[in-house]
Structure 1
Amino acid sequence: MTFTQTQKWLPLLVPCMPSPQELMPWLERMHMARHYSNFGPLVLELEAAFAQQFGSGVEQITSVANATQGLELVLQALNLPAGSHVLVPALTFVATATAVVRAGHVPVLADVDAQTWMITPEIARAVCERMCIGAVLPVATFGMPQDMHAWQQFELDTNVPVVVDAAAAYGSQWLRDAQGTLVFSLHTTKSLPAGEGGLVVSTRPGLAAKVRQLSNFGINFDPNASMPIGTLAGLGSNAKMSEYHAAIALVSLQKMELHAMQRRRLQKDFICEINQATDHRVAWQVQGTGGPLLAPTLLCASLPNAAVRFVLEQACQREHIMTRRWYQPLLQNMDVLQQRCLTLETPIAIALAQKLLGLPFFLGMTQEERHRVCNVIASAMSVS
């Protein structure tokens, strides 16, 4: 099927943000309170709702301006020696590595599991046996949850702290009665969109409170502390969530379960359609021991090889279908990071980087739009 040059582009992602009408009652509450930042009533209400969802105390929760700053501040709050080696997967978004660098440490890039596309406790153990690692930053890749019980056991066995970059995994990644630290993103394209925002959940004693303090410049506001209120207790940043973003998140939270269910159904149907159109020649991320992907926000396919991917990309470009090579180039192939990272052998990540391609996926995607994608994939693979 051929489309004309006037064919409307099929987007890769479409944010599912609350409408102005849905937001208005919350914005009116904010305006009446005249409190717009600095841990206002809507931020506190949102954090209380998060604490209830995670079955934790509010002292184990803190909001931040975004997940990247959340990662940076958590690493700072761990008080690792300057220049510590922090293990991260080679296949991840750049913010995982840049947070490590900005916190004053050295990212150590490791390989990932061939099926789940994630770094695992087994991979991390093997690295820790060869070199000194100060902390591990596993990633819930594409929202697939990490096994928190396995990572808790890893921490107990190695005494190496673990911080899960769960940026894309809200609604899928839970502690499940395990001990651990999670950092989520509330970016506009995530499963719980607030426009911008982040969430830190940690059972590590005092960690969330320390991150909270660092997010407010590092100033002490605890009257029970050993220093006067207003004293700089640490070299923090301005990484607080605003009341505006908390208002959006509170509205999004009301529809979170419905949207997660719709995303699961869309993912299931779309993958089934692509499999049928390609005679099952496309591979997909496999669920690990951390549980199922309950709130998918994107669709990433593993194609047979680099040549097929190139042909498909060209075909999608002609037919005005957006695609993206997630997460490529790999971290070790980015000039800005090459001199700041220590790269281990990563054959699986390198192989995946030749084949992965992000396809359009968003709530409200029609069957006609899905068929449009399937037809292009089937056509491209038939000539490859």
Structure 2
Amino acid sequence: MTHMPEREWVPLLVPDMPSPQELLPWLERMHAVQHYSNFGPLVRELEAIFANQFGVESKQLSTVANATQGLELALQALDLPAGAHVLVPALTFVATATAVVRAGHQPVLADVDARTWMLTPDIARATCERMRIDAVLPVATFGMPHDMQAWQRFECDMGLPVIIDAAAAYGSQSLQGAEGTLVFSLHTTKSLPAGEGGLVVSTRPGLAAKVRQLSNFGINLDTTASLPVGALASLGSNAKMSEYHAAVGLISLQKWELQAQRRRVLQAEIMHEMNQASDHSLTWQAQGPGGPLMAPTLLCARLSDAKARGALEQACQQARIMTRRWYQPLLQHMDVLRQQCVCLDTPNARGLADTLLGLPFFLGMTTMQRQRILHVLQPLS
């Protein structure tokens, strides 16, 4: 009996990283000056480009080794009292909450908007009326940008600092002419991949400079400071971005516009095809007041209920199509985190956790791969 070979799995994500050939000239530049870390020339070049893009001074941003450390150090730079209550959405990646805990504070898990799937200023205001909140850490969920003018009004009205976890939102989230603090990821799966890396942008006086110092163990490098150069000014970490990752980031920047456009086109095409195949039984994340998603990196659909989600998962498994329950289980359902958090009522987040499913999305998807996904969606119609 002849056995037919099994089809390859349709992957969930495929990193869009520069090729070795593209990287080689940058590695040669790095090797020529033999500077590989510690705020080298490629890191400084990358930061200069970022400063121009965000319309800030160089002292108002700092690269870091990754976005998680960027969040931790930004929270540390706020100098909040130990055990401060930091409001975060219940629907988010675990790093949002673990950064709060590792910075010595307590996450307060709040609900999200049912349409945009994000923690909003209105939700934050309502929470502040019921309990003490010391800072707010909203998330640009799946890269959807926040309205920075609205968050600036919140900061002014409530007197509380806000740090936007914009890990997945490079190219979509900007300051929008407002005051604020943003933390981005340059992970290999993000829209600007550097392999690993992060970026902190802040108009809050001294915050980015403090993050930079903390990322270098907390060592003073300022010749005008009262401490001698090399003395420990604060208790930091080793969270510097390397020259290797800066090189990858610089290459990715050169083709970012083109790749972002391709991602937008691909997302629009696939969502249209999926809506038709499923007879419009899928719901998608709604655009918020912060503007459109400029460089989508994943595809997450909402099913009608948990049973429908489970049926689609099973169909995809049988068809060898990878899926993912993004941001699940919710933070309050993880034993390690639950004991560290204040858990508020989160009906919208609970409903989303029962019905969201991540589906394959990556540049270079073949027609055959897309057809396989559409085929498993047809029973939903």
Length-normalised TM-score, structure 2: 0.98
- Displacement of 1:370: 1.3
| Aligned mates of 1:4, 1:353 — CA distance in 2 | 37
Structure 2 equivalent of residue 178 of structure 1: 178
**Which sections of structure 2, spanning at least 5 residues, go unmatched?**
none
- Displacement of 1:377: 1.6
Structure 2 equivalent of residue 196 of structure 1: 196
- Displacement of 1:368: 2.3
Structure 2 equivalent of residue 377 of structure 1: 377
What amino acid is aligned across from residue 265 of structure 1 in structure 2? V
Structure 1 equivalent of residue 210 of structure 2: 210
Structure 1 equivalent of residue 259 of structure 2: 259
Superposed, 1:145-160 pairs within 5 Å as 145-160=145-160
- Displacement of 1:194: 0.4
Structure 1 equivalent of residue 273 of structure 2: 273
2:288 aligned with 1:288: yes
Structure 1 equivalent of residue 18 of structure 2: 18
Larger mean Cα displacement after TM superposition, 52-61 or 112-121: 52-61
- Displacement of 1:374: 1.1
Provide the secondary structure at the position in 2 that maps to 1:199. strand
Instruction: Kindly provide the CA deviation profile for residues 264-304 of structure 1, in whole angstroms up to 9, marking residues without a partner as x.
Output: 00000000000001111100000000000001000000011
| Aligned mates of 1:97, 1:371 — CA distance in 2 | 38
| Aligned mates of 2:367, 2:335 — CA distance in 1 | 41
Instruction: Kindly provide the CA deviation profile for residues 27-62 of structure 1, in whole angstroms up to 9, marking residues without a partner as x.
Output: 000000100000000000000010111111111110
| Aligned mates of 2:47, 2:63 — CA distance in 1 | 7
Q: 1:207 and 1:272, CA in 2 relative to 1: closer, same or farther beyond 3 A?
A: same
| Aligned mates of 1:62, 1:312 — CA distance in 2 | 43
Structure 1 equivalent of residue 96 of structure 2: 96
- Displacement of 1:132: 1.1
Structure 2 equivalent of residue 348 of structure 1: 348
What amino acid is aligned across from residue 301 of structure 2 in structure 1? A
- Displacement of 1:5: 6.0
Instruction: Kindly provide the CA deviation profile for residues 163-216 of structure 1, in whole angstroms up to 9, marking residues without a partner as x.
Output: 000000001001111100000000000000000000000000110000000000
| Aligned mates of 1:214, 1:373 — CA distance in 2 | 46
| Aligned mates of 1:316, 1:301 — CA distance in 2 | 14
Structure 2 equivalent of residue 225 of structure 1: 225
Structure 1 equivalent of residue 34 of structure 2: 34
- Displacement of 1:367: 2.5
Instruction: Kindly provide the CA deviation profile for residues 340-375 of structure 1, in whole angstroms up to 9, marking residues without a partner as x.
Output: 000000000000100000000001112221121011
| Aligned mates of 2:38, 2:19 — CA distance in 1 | 25
Structure 2 equivalent of residue 331 of structure 1: 331
Structure 1 equivalent of residue 168 of structure 2: 168
Provide the secondary structure at the position in 2 that maps to 1:122. helix
Provide the secondary structure at the position in 2 that maps to 1:354. helix
| Aligned mates of 1:366, 1:258 — CA distance in 2 | 19
Provide the secondary structure at the position in 2 that maps to 1:107. strand
Superposed, 1:38-53 pairs within 5 Å as 38-53=38-53
Provide the secondary structure at the position in 2 that maps to 1:300. strand
Length-normalised TM-score, structure 1: 0.98
Provide the secondary structure at the position in 2 that maps to 1:113. coil
Percent identity (aligned)? 72
| Aligned mates of 1:145, 1:366 — CA distance in 2 | 29
Instruction: Kindly provide the CA deviation profile for residues 137-172 of structure 1, in whole angstroms up to 9, marking residues without a partner as x.
Output: 000000000110000000000010000000000010
| Aligned mates of 1:352, 1:254 — CA distance in 2 | 37
2:92 aligned with 1:63: no
| Aligned mates of 1:368, 1:176 — CA distance in 2 | 40
Superposed, 1:81-120 pairs within 5 Å as 81-120=81-120
Instruction: Kindly provide the CA deviation profile for residues 87-121 of structure 1, in whole angstroms up to 9, marking residues without a partner as x.
Output: 00000000000000000000000000000000000
4+ aligned runs moved over 3 Å, structure 1? none
| Aligned mates of 1:319, 1:372 — CA distance in 2 | 8
| Aligned mates of 1:56, 1:258 — CA distance in 2 | 24
- RMSD over aligned CA atoms reads 1.0
- Displacement of 1:131: 1.1
Larger mean Cα displacement after TM superposition, 370-379 or 311-320: 370-379
| Aligned mates of 2:196, 2:360 — CA distance in 1 | 22
| Aligned mates of 1:131, 1:304 — CA distance in 2 | 34
| Aligned mates of 2:84, 2:5 — CA distance in 1 | 53
What amino acid is aligned across from residue 338 of structure 2 in structure 1? Q
| Aligned mates of 2:252, 2:97 — CA distance in 1 | 29
Instruction: Kindly provide the CA deviation profile for residues 201-255 of structure 1, in whole angstroms up to 9, marking residues without a partner as x.
Output: 0000110000000000000000011111111111000000000000000000001
What amino acid is aligned across from residue 198 of structure 2 in structure 1? G
What amino acid is aligned across from residue 164 of structure 2 in structure 1? V
| Aligned mates of 1:181, 1:126 — CA distance in 2 | 22
Structure 1 equivalent of residue 242 of structure 2: 242
Provide the secondary structure at the position in 2 that maps to 1:284. coil
| Aligned mates of 1:281, 1:311 — CA distance in 2 | 13
